[in-house]
């Protein structure tokens, strides 16, 4: 039997390691605290290279994705442009699209309470019938 998506995300975090793995793990914990019913998935697998896929957190649709790059950890909210962001957590993908992202480098952390509130708002947006 194959690994669960949660186990695969554990492996991705372990493989990334260092500050990026620690930061992604911390953000994951906050997401799960903000919404205990969140579903962890792996999407966009690319068998032709070493990429294992992208961690995705869903609740009635994709809420956000988590990716690591050389100098940042990026959480992209699928419908970020529709969410209030009173603490200005979104600092990336601020163009005309629907997505908004939070990029974190090695020395900057996210405001935990504001982040969990943003997760809860994103889940509520996904659950709402007004989004159609």
Q: What percent of the chain has pLDDT over 70?
A: 91
Answer yes or no: is 33 within a domain: yes
Answer yes or no: is 108 within a domain: yes
Domain CATH for 42: 3.90.1150.200
Answer yes or no: is 19 within a domain: yes
Q: How many domains does the chain have?
A: 1
pLDDT at 53: 86
pTM equals 0.90
pLDDT at 44: 82
Convert the pLDDT of each residue in 18-73 to its tens digit: 999 999 999 999 999 999 999 999 998 766 545 578 999 999 999 999 999 999 99
Q: Which domain holds residue 90?
A: 5-126
Answer yes or no: is 74 within a domain: yes
Answer yes or no: is 15 within a domain: yes
Q: Provide the token pair at 77.
A: 């909210």
Confidence category of residue 93, pLDDT binned at 50, 70, 90? confident
Answer yes or no: is 131 within a domain: no
Q: How far apart are CA 8 and CA 82, in angstroms?
A: 30
Confidence category of residue 129, pLDDT binned at 50, 70, 90? low
Query: Which residue, 127, 131, 129, 128, is CA-closest to 59?
Result: 127
pLDDT at 50: 53
Q: How far apart are CA 47 and CA 93, in angstroms?
A: 27
Furthest-apart CA atoms within the chain: distance in Å: 44
pLDDT at 132: 52
pLDDT at 131: 53
């Amino acid at each position: 039997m194959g690994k669960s998506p949660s186990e695969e995300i554990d492996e991705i975090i372990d493989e990334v390691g260092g500050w990026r793995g620690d930061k992604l793990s911390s953000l994951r914990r906050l997401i799960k605290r903000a919404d205990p019913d969140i579903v962890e998935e792996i999407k966009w697998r690319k068998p032709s290279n070493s990429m294992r896929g992208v961690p995705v957190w869903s609740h009635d649709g994709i809420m956000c994705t988590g990716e690591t790059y050389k100098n940042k950890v990026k959480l992209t909210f699928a419908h970020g442009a529709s969410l209030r962001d009173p603490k200005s957590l979104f600092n990336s993908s601020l163009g005309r699209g629907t997505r908004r992202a939070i990029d974190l480098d090695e020395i900057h952390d996210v405001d935990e309470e504001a982040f969990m509130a943003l997760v809860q708002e994103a889940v509520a947006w996904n659950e709402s019938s007004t989004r159609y």
